[in-house]
Amino acid sequence: MADIPQLTASDDPVENSKQVLKALKCVAFSSKQVGDVMRRRRERLTKRLQAVADETELLRAHIVENVLNQRQRLEQLRELQDDLEQAQTLGQPDLLKDLADELKLLRREDQRDSVLLRNLKRTMRSRVRVKRALQEQKTAADEAMLVFNCKN
């Protein structure tokens, strides 16, 4: 940043006007720098806000996919329960063992998807809070920029 020039009183009006002009240039340069910093901050906030919005959309898609998978798995579990009952009725121990193993695997997958869904929802809530905060910051930056532009 440029040093602030020291103004000294002089008997020479040309020297005085040179010093005043130099001081005005310094103020204008400082004002431009402040404006540049404010614009860059606003641009960063805009980019971060867009990134959070994109991430939120991806999270929503993952949540929908997870819910659909859980519904499919629930249907598979129902079918498997019916098959287990039939295998028991038919007295097929080998088939019964295979179906029981498949049931364990489906339940583990369902449990993992439930944990994943909870984590996705928690992350989603967190990103929504971040998005709100960024929107507030961007609004404040927009207002500050507007005030700055009106003053300069």
Closest CA to 130 of 35, 59, 65, 39: 59
d(CA 71, CA 110): 10
DSSP symbol at 91? T
What is the structure's pLDDT at 120?
A: 97
Token duo for residue 115: 């944990």
The domains of the chain, with CATH numbers, are: 13-151 (1.10.287)
Inter-residue contact 141 to 38 (CB < 8 Å):
yes
What is the structure's pLDDT at 3?
A: 57
Token duo for residue 92: 């097929």
Instruction: For the chain, 152 residues long, give each residue's pLDDT as a single digit of tens.
Output: 555 555 555 667 777 777 777 877 777 778 888 889 999 999 999 999 999 999 999 999 999 999 999 999 999 999 999 999 999 999 989 999 999 999 999 999 999 999 999 999 999 999 999 999 999 999 999 999 999 888 87
CA 97 to chain CA centroid, nearest Å: 47
What is the structure's pLDDT at 22?
A: 80
What is the structure's pLDDT at 10?
A: 61
pTM for this model (two decimals): 0.70
d(CA 52, CA 46): 10
In this structure, the number of other CB atoms found within 10 A of the CB of residue 18 comes to: 12
